[in-house]
Amino acid sequence: MRRGIRLTIKGGGLALLLASQAAQAQARNGAKRTSARPAPSNAQLAASALNRRVEALLNQMTLEEKAGQLAQYSVGTPTGPGTGRSDYETLVRTGATGSLLNVVGAQETNRYQRIAVEQSRLKIPLLFGFDVIHGYRTTMPIPLGMAASFDPALVEQAMRMAGAEAAAEGIRWAFSPMVDIARDVRWGRVAEGSGEDPFLGAAMARAYVRGYQGASLAEPTSVAASVKHFAGYGAAEGGRDYNTVDMSEVSLRQVYLPPFQAAIEEGSATLMSAFHSLNGVPATAHPHLLTDILRKEWGFNGFVVSDWTAVAELVNHGIALDGPAAANKALSAGVDMDMESHLYGPEVPRLVRAGKLRETVVDEAVRRVLRVKFALGLFEKPFVDETAAAYVATPEKRELARRMAEESIVLLENEGGVLPLPPSGRKIALVGPLADAPVDMLGVWSAMGDPRDVVTLRAALEQRLKDDKEALRYAKGTDVLSEDTSGFQEAVVAAASSDVVIAALGEDTSMSGEASSRTRIDLPGNQRQLLAALAATGKPVILIVFSGRPLALTDARPHAAAIVQAWQPGLEAGHALTNLLWGEVDFSARLPISFPRSLGQVPLYYNHFNTGRPAGQTDLTHPPTSSAEKYVSRYLDERNTPLYPFGHGLSYTPFDFSPPTLGAASLQARAVQKQGGEVMRVKTRVRNAGRVQGTVVAQLYLRILGASTAQPVRQLAGFQRVALAPGESRELEFTLGFKELSFLDASALRGVEPGTRYELWVGDGSRATPHASFTME
């Protein structure tokens, strides 16, 4: 009845080159074998030519040179606890390193590359890596914001540009996408991922990989992706970064692994292991993750890099007595390259000579690294053009950054239609510490983004209102994390003498991202008091929240007529926001993560289990007033629902959805399980029921009942962005196949089960009501 996780590797670059390994894995995973051998494809031929080059090189390498290919060092601004040294040129010249990170600029990468390919014995080119996370020079919104677009095609385009900008400076490796599912908003790294949903996360993971790697890694504009941090890192205990994770194999595979698997299927050339321990074993020495699942099940043929000093940290975890033992454990478990622990380089040869590590293990890791270098064309073209014109944020680049920002900014509230603002005639007070804060618009991991290229909200408003000197009053009011109220007065005066207030509040860049977990998630410092003071003027307040995570906006809400979640929107922050505020572009973004009412609700996510005593999705009173309200899974002192659920977001126009119609009343489990098997077609009609043009994210959710294991109350199974003119309607079709319909049984095997019922909902958000159901026979 059940079948193992199916393997289908597609996409460009390395995946194609390694198609023969993928085919073998497919056969192992139960795909049909045919007796007659098919003729080798072009991809297979390319793969064998590449493998021959790898073997030829490997045969010439000393043990030290092999270890060197597995050792990566950071040169330049460190992105973790300092471990610096000063002999990088010697390391490169002697073949003691194969990869550097944090080197920027064409001249610098070329300088090191020249040493590698002209002065080292084997002339193996260096691979330069960098945290290209949401842009290289042209900074897009943070990944959580980009996920809110529900627009993988645009994300792909944005990341294509990011990769090309990095590649132009010799950086052919992006440490991205971060695909860690995050359900605890205390964790600062929620900013770097695509939110709480595995289906959306998988779609985004694919988009990033396609963008970075293009049709072929060998294109000079392509960079190798590094999907990270494998795996379960987002579930860190208490939201404390780097902390322990303990979870069932079912949760791991159902919730946390799908985006990783999607990235691998899409051909991600590399993968980064994580810092934490998963079920007692540090992820950087986790044979089950790194070998059983990644290599054997998924057929991954790229290489694995550790996270920053994560190999050395195995000693802190307590599973290695010293550095050499840590190196041995990590490499043996499947970590091919050591980032910044400075261990593989010196220790691997010693371990082999002492008979503690087999040289074949080392050889295999070296092969994986060399394959990626060959696939990137580094041997043919190690240098980049230093005379290329310096970076300019051209109108084309800005346009992409602006569109990405426009599609990422979510309208949470719009009471009485305060938005859009009328074209003219309104006096606006712009208040808040984030109205004119370029660095905070760039956001976490902004790579080489330059604050001087940022258009802040203040700059965009000044530009827009330049013909009317009286139209804009600006006052900062307070700082992000301050108790000083001396700026309130000026802000209140500005508000009182205007028609509408725009309050730009939230977190600064340093408050989310790595090592930036927080125990408070409401508006920081005295910003809520400032907001209350502004509201007390009686003028409608449009609250714009800049943050790297969902904040608890419960106390802020009563003071705002409209709430706009802007994340950290990147280079074109101001233009994107003003276009949206004036209604020249519709708000089309939807939340990729739930917004809690208060921190005590965390972890909070829409795709939870029902429990035996569910609190349900409608608001219960608190404290409870009846036993029916009391004896359910809830808190006494808080509502049961989030403030804003996953998938929520308003447009400038309402949309209605017809109840979904199904291609069949039932499916046959046996037929669904077959390769390319039976699917359910779901149709619905969506209509723009308002008077202006708008864009909606049509979302399809499902729930599986009667299965051998409990399944989430709802889970996203499809989405489409649809732009509609007023009154226009369109029929949409979703296809549910094995991937969407299957789930894990108690032994973590994926399949579908007869006798189950599938409930479906379509609409604009995870609370959608139009409904249909079918059975699995």
> Which residues participate in catalysis according to the annotation?
307
Q: From the CB of 716, what's the least distance to ligand BGC, in Å?
A: 26
Q: From the CB of 50, what's the least distance to ligand BGC, in Å?
A: 27
| Residue from 65, 265, 266, 307 binding ligand BGC (CB under 6 A) | 307
| Residue from 2, 45, 79, 737 binding ligand BGC (CB under 6 A) | 79
CA pair distance 326, 318, nearest whole angstrom: 10
The smaller minimum CB distance to ligand BGC, of residues 131 and 740, is found at 131
CB 713 within 8 A of CB 645: no
CB-based burial of residue 745 (10 Å sphere; 0-12 exposed, 13-18 middle, 19+ buried)?
middle
| Sign of the CA dihedral with 559 first, then 561, 564, and 565 last | positive
Q: From the CB of 311, what's the least distance to ligand BGC, in Å?
A: 13
Q: Is 131 in the site for ligand BGC (CB under 6 A)?
A: yes
Q: From the CB of 518, what's the least distance to ligand BGC, in Å?
A: 18
CA pair distance 257, 247, nearest whole angstrom: 12
Question: Which residues make Cβ contacts (< 8 Å) with residue 210, sequence separation at least 6?
Answer: 11, 12, 156, 159, 160, 266
| Residue from 6, 50, 63, 80 binding ligand BGC (CB under 6 A) | 80
Site for ligand BGC in 636-655 (CB under 6 A): none
The smaller minimum CB distance to ligand BGC, of residues 237 and 468, is found at 237
Question: Which residues make Cβ contacts (< 8 Å) with residue 59, sequence separation at least 6?
Answer: none
CA pair distance 148, 549, nearest whole angstrom: 12
Q: Could you give the maximum distance between any two Cα atoms of the chain, in Å?
A: 83
Q: Is 300 in the site for ligand BGC (CB under 6 A)?
A: no
Q: What's the Cα-to-Cα distance from 736 to each of 423, 440, 774, rounded to whole Å? A: 44, 41, 12
Binding mask 212-251 for ligand BGC (x = CB under 6 A): ----------------x-----------------------
Q: From the CB of 188, what's the least distance to ligand BGC, in Å?
A: 11
Helix (H, G, I), strand (E, B) or coil at 281: strand
In this structure, the strands spanning 661-662 and 680-688 are antiparallel
- Terminal Cα-to-Cα distance of the chain (whole angstroms): 12
Q: From the CB of 162, what's the least distance to ligand BGC, in Å?
A: 14
The smaller minimum CB distance to ligand BGC, of residues 72 and 607, is found at 72
The H-assigned helical ranges of 383-443 are: 395-406, 438-442
| Residue from 308, 605, 655, 657 binding ligand BGC (CB under 6 A) | 308
Q: Rounded to 5 degrees, what are φ and ψ at 153?
A: -65, -40
Q: Is 338 in the site for ligand BGC (CB under 6 A)?
A: no
Q: Render the burial of 449-459: b for 16+ CB within 10 Å, e for the rest.
A: bbeebbbbbbb
Q: Is 175 in the site for ligand BGC (CB under 6 A)?
A: yes
Q: From the CB of 344, what's the least distance to ligand BGC, in Å?
A: 16
Angle at 254 (CA atoms; ends 248, 257), nearest 5 degrees = 95
The smaller minimum CB distance to ligand BGC, of residues 175 and 488, is found at 175
The smaller minimum CB distance to ligand BGC, of residues 156 and 514, is found at 514
Counting residues that bind ligand BGC (by CB under 6 A) gives 8
Q: From the CB of 277, what's the least distance to ligand BGC, in Å?
A: 15
Q: Which run of H or E residues covers position 562?
A: strand 562-565
The smaller minimum CB distance to ligand BGC, of residues 406 and 514, is found at 514
Binding mask 27-66 for ligand BGC (x = CB under 6 A): ----------------------------------------
How far is C-alpha 451 from the chain's CA centre?
23
The smaller minimum CB distance to ligand BGC, of residues 151 and 514, is found at 514
CA pair distance 217, 209, nearest whole angstrom: 11
Q: Residue 210: name the closest of 148, 265, 260 by CA.
A: 265
In this structure, the strands spanning 127-130 and 171-174 are parallel
The smaller minimum CB distance to ligand BGC, of residues 153 and 515, is found at 515
The smaller minimum CB distance to ligand BGC, of residues 165 and 572, is found at 165
The smaller minimum CB distance to ligand BGC, of residues 192 and 507, is found at 192
| Residue from 514, 586, 740, 764 binding ligand BGC (CB under 6 A) | 514
Position with the least CB separation from ligand BGC: 79
Q: Rounded to 5 degrees, what are φ and ψ at 696?
A: -120, 155
CA pair distance 774, 509, nearest whole angstrom: 47
Q: From the CB of 109, what's the least distance to ligand BGC, in Å?
A: 16
Binding mask 379-398 for ligand BGC (x = CB under 6 A): --------------------
The smaller minimum CB distance to ligand BGC, of residues 80 and 377, is found at 80
Q: What's the Cα-to-Cα distance from 70 to each of 304, 323, 388, 396, 679, rounded to whole Å? A: 10, 15, 31, 39, 45
Q: Rounded to 5 degrees, what are φ and ψ at 129?
A: -115, 155
CB-based burial of residue 255 (10 Å sphere; 0-12 exposed, 13-18 middle, 19+ buried)?
buried
The smaller minimum CB distance to ligand BGC, of residues 79 and 658, is found at 79
Beta bridge partners of 661: 683
CA pair distance 485, 540, nearest whole angstrom: 21
Q: What's the Cα-to-Cα distance from 577 to each of 138, 258, 581, 697, rounded to whole Å? A: 17, 33, 6, 19
The smaller minimum CB distance to ligand BGC, of residues 65 and 131, is found at 131
Q: From the CB of 497, what's the least distance to ligand BGC, in Å?
A: 47
CA pair distance 469, 462, nearest whole angstrom: 9
On the CB side of 510, how many CA atoms lie within 13 Å of its CA? 3
Q: From the CB of 368, what's the least distance to ligand BGC, in Å?
A: 19
Q: From the CB of 304, what's the least distance to ligand BGC, in Å?
A: 13
Site for ligand BGC in 441-500 (CB under 6 A): none
Q: Residue 651: name the closest of 599, 721, 593 by CA.
A: 721
Dump the DSSP string for 59-114: TT--HHHHHHHTEEEE-SS-SSS----S-HHHHHHTT--SEEES--SHHHHHHHHH
CB 100 within 8 A of CB 74: yes
Q: From the CB of 409, what's the least distance to ligand BGC, in Å?
A: 25
CB 475 within 8 A of CB 462: no
For binding to ligand BGC (CB under 6 A), which residues are involved?
79-80, 131, 175, 228, 307-308, 514
